[in-house]
Amino acid sequence: MKIGILGTGGVGRTLAVKLNVLGHEVVIGTRNVEDTLARTAPDGMGSPPFKVWHSQNSKVKLVKFSEAASFGEIIFLSTFGDKTSASIDMAGKQNFDSKVVIDTTNPLDFSKGVPPKFTVTLGNSLGEQIQKQIPNAKVVKAFNTIGAHIMVNPMREEGSPDLFIAGNDDDAKKKFVSLAEQMGWENVIDFGNISQSYWLEANAMLWIHYGFKYNNWNHAFKLLKK
């Protein structure tokens, strides 16, 4: 399957490696290819410069946002939440039409340090904003309540966590679940339509606050059912 990823940070890189290993054809998109390759300092999350990563993962082609969106049968949004709307505009809204779009982003404001602030309100989640911005796409909110390393390697020492998703299109969600199962996910819980993104994004704040409080980012959620 052809997969386009928007965002060259830790999430985008981690997904790109895993999906490529699974046999998918993957490209990763950025605002400006030359600028991204020219960077020599770690990014804001402490990841090595993209050029270093790319030298070790050359099968993943680096392209512009528009090329990544055009290429992908499935498109992952893995930019910072406050950059997602602009990234979609740069990619060209028409390139998302009729495609499955996996929204991994969260509405976070780091301007006053950590933990970040939550920036959306009920009925106006980031997932809903994205679906409105690209109305002809099939947006699935997923992977936003865990760290990138858990996205691609979900099994924890204590067992298998649950993955929460939301979206309007049932077939799109089935396609995502198929990918998630390839990555090792055993339990995917569908919370309903895209309006449920608010609760998934709020849930992400629990994950984030716990991480900063205990300086541990290996946790994940499990919904226990009788």
Q: Rounded mean pLDDT of 188-203?
A: 98
> Whole-number mean pLDDT of the chain?
96
Q: Rounded mean pLDDT of 106-115?
A: 95
Which helix (DSSP H) or strand (DSSP E) does residue 35 occupy?
Answer: helix 33-38
Q: Rounded mean pLDDT of 6-26?
A: 97
Q: Where are the beta strands (DSSP E) in 32-99?
A: 61-64, 74-77
Q: Which residues contact 106 (CB under 8 A, 6 or more apart)?
A: 81, 126, 144, 201, 204, 205, 208
DSSP count for the chain of H helices, then E strands: 9, 10
Rg (CA), the chain: 16
Pick from 145, 11, 140: nearest CA to 75: 140
3-state secondary structure of 173: helix
In whole angstroms, what is the distance from residue 77 CA to residue 28 CA?
10
Residue 54 predicted with pLDDT over 80: yes
3-state secondary structure of 164: strand
Pick from 102, 78, 73: nearest CA to 28: 78
pLDDT: which is higher, 179 or 45 = 179
pLDDT digits (tens, 9 = 90+) for 55-82: 999 999 999 999 999 999 999 999 999 9
Torsion of CA 175, 179, 180, 181, to 10 degrees: 100
**How remote is the C-alpha of 150 from its chain's centroid?**
12
Cβ–Cβ < 8 Å for 69, 93: no
Binned at pLDDT 50, 70 and 90, residue 101 comes out as: very high
Residue 21 predicted with pLDDT over 90: yes
Q: Rounded mean pLDDT of 93-108?
A: 98
Q: Rounded mean pLDDT of 95-107?
A: 98
Instruction: Look up residue 167 and give its two tokens.
Output: 């979206």
Residue 184 predicted with pLDDT over 90: yes
Q: Per the confidence metrics, is the pTM higher than 0.95?
A: yes
